Amino acid sequence: MQVILRDELLQSVEKPARYTGGELNAFVKNPAEVDIRFAFCFPDTYEVGMSHLGMRILYGLLNERVDTYCERVFAPWIDMEARMRENKIPLFSLESREPVGNFDFVGFTLQYEMSYTNVLNMLDLAGIPLLRDDRKEGQPFVCAGGPCAYNPEPLADFVDFFMMGEGEEIINEVMDAYKQWKSEKASRNDFLNRIVSIEGIYVPGFYSFSYNEDGTIKAFEALREGYPTKIRKRIIGDLDSVYYPDKMVVPYLSIVHDRTTLELFRGCTRGCRFCQAGFVYRPVRERTPARLKEMANRLQDSTGYEEISLISLSTSDYSGLPELTSSLLDDMEAKKVNLALPSLRIDSFSLELMEKAQKVRKSGLTFAPEAGTQRLRDVINKGVTQEDLLNSVGLAFKGGWNGVKLYFMIGLPTETMEDVEGIAVLGKKVVDEYYQVPKDSRNRRLEVTISTSSFVPKPFTPFQWEPQDSMDTLREKQSYLKMRIKDKHLRYNWHDPETSFLEAVFARGDRRTGRVLLRAWELGCKFDSWREHFKFDEWMNAFEDCGIDPAFYANRKRGYDEVFPWDHIDVGVSKGFLLRENGRAQQEEITPNCMTSCSGCGVASFGCGICIDYQGRKGGDGDE
């Protein structure tokens, strides 16, 4: 049954192209001719979801299978949801416009904790029972992956199974198992029993938690012998040979990152102690420049985009960057295609590199000192200095740039008001650097934007034991910066502490927080990452209704011996290594990056990437 969207309905909502599909390079198949229907759901708007590389990769990968049709589903905006509910229109896919409840799989990518209520809302719109225990034979399996899945417990009551790690291999193994299971017409529970032994699969219904009197976790247990008690993430060892789409869907409306995306490598060598991605995506694995050039040319030919974004966690750390940028410019300059280089580090900024990358058109520059003083930058293992920043912005100003964005965090472990003051001081020094450039060489009016986000302790980082500052403390620090940042060339942006508070609750939440999530959704919470729709008071009502103290999860310092809700997930980085890094942070000690020496984090056990390529590494594979 295809959902009919009448013109008068589409004309009554903002951006109707969010819901029509039919874009260039979208896959068109006959649903009746495939064995498996997979609804790939992004729990945010079309513009946000269509910018996500992981969706683009898995969408193409699954559709390479003759037996599978993967279709895209996004969270309808408030106006469209109202029309859908008024007209009893279920959540539908863009490709076939069929109800999501008719699919075999409903798969969510979890990129941000504040999208969790949208997951529930989308299931409700699809007519799928929210609680996994309420789903019956013949209803879709709800699965999830992505960085937030590394702590799956807040969503454990709603998701049938999670896929841990990089999905290119694991998702095909699940599809193969499903096809066999479907042909045998076995039970729903039988399918979950078949896939629980696939490395990287976590079936939350097969496990239980017990708790101590103080509310901390006592134990995690499998309900049956033979279920794995450690779920190890999956990674791709050879990025040159793994699938990458030759085509990407080209939207009819502007999206957040409206350009071709080229993934240089995965992982990060730096080890910033607040950064979850830097630990869970280890080890670093690179694509060769030759393979990247081939990918870029195919994508540009198939999409016609005028910009190629070279992405990774730290693009300037890519070992073949000079060779790649020179080669791509040879191909792209005549086509008026620009190269964009996000994720540049202050200590490896090169004016020559930026001039090459932005030869077609200039855009603003972004740097992330993260902290205002060297002491705190050492605590977080940032590995950059004030001199690095000033040298970099000085080079940029001399090269004709006049817009710089500086990203910082407030509330980092051990932070003092002197460190907060350092943010304002550093911003002023950047302005002063601009005036070191001769007047006739300056490019228009200078604008330096300082943005602060609030520290959120995340699983699998050295700071997973640390408390988050209270909301009152974070507000005090923001108010102090508003008062101190007065220069006419400086602009200050900040994030709401309330949002960061809830992010911390669900980042480190256990299975009990799922009750709060459900209650908050019942009270009308959704699109929580959108300021105009964030209902903090209703969230606080939900915690009260469930008898749960959110400060227990956000603002409490953990003991080193505490059992975490995610201890049964194995990302390769050992808990012993993270403990050592936490100790080094308290001593304000830097840990060298992986290109300098091996710190023994544990991911060498995967046997790929930098851990085997770097011959000069010292130390060992990590931990006891």
**pLDDT tens digits for 198-239?**
999 999 999 999 999 999 999 999 999 999 999 999 999 999
Is the pLDDT at 353 greater than 90? The verdict is no
Within-domain flag for 273: yes
pLDDT above 80 (res 359): no
Q: How far apart are CA 307 and CA 303, in angstroms?
A: 10
Confidence of residue 428 (pLDDT cuts 50, 70, 90): very high
Mean pLDDT of 335-346: 77
Residues 205 and 323 in one domain: no
- Give this prediction's pTM: 0.95
pLDDT at 322: 87
- Judged on CB neighbours under 10 Å (0-12, 13-18, 19+), 235 is buried
CATH of the domain at 104: 3.40.50.280
Please tell me whether residues 146 and 213 are part of one structural domain: yes
Phi/psi of residue 429, nearest 5 degrees = -70, -30
Does the pLDDT value for residue 594 go beyond 80?
A: yes
Is 603 among the domain residues? no
C-beta of residue 388 within 8 angstroms of C-beta of residue 347: yes
- In the chain, pLDDT over 70 holds for what percent of residues? 95
Residues 207 and 546: beta-carbon distance below 8 Å = no
Question: Could you read off the pLDDT of 101-124 as tens digits, one per residue?
Answer: 999 999 999 999 999 999 999 999
Q: Are residues 87 and 150 in the same domain?
A: yes
The boundaries of the domain holding residue 142 are 7-232
Give the pLDDT of residue 354: 65
Write the pLDDT tens digit of every residue in 363-416: 568 889 999 999 999 999 998 999 999 998 888 888 888 889 999 999 999 999
Tell me the pLDDT tens digit for each residue of 50-98. Answer: 999 999 999 999 999 999 999 999 999 999 999 999 999 999 999 999 9
CB 430 within 8 A of CB 404: yes
Average pLDDT, the chain: 93
- Residues 304 and 391 occupy one common structural domain: yes
Residue 535: partners with Cβ closer than 8 Å, 6 or more residues away: 523, 524, 525, 528
Domain boundary (502, 528, 554) is at 554
Mean pLDDT, rounded, for 485-494: 94
Domain end point (choices 554, 587, 605): 554
pLDDT over 90 (residue 568): yes
d(CA 74, CA 93): 8
Euclidean distance between CA atoms 13 and 46, whole angstroms:
14
With CA atoms as reference, report the closest residue to 525 among 119, 12, 218: 119
624 located within any domain = no
Q: How many domains does the chain have?
A: 2
Is the pLDDT at 554 greater than 80? The verdict is yes
Alpha-helical (H) ranges within 140-205 are 167-184, 188-195
Tell me which residue of 357, 237, 222, 246 sits closest to 303, measured CA to CA.
Answer: 246
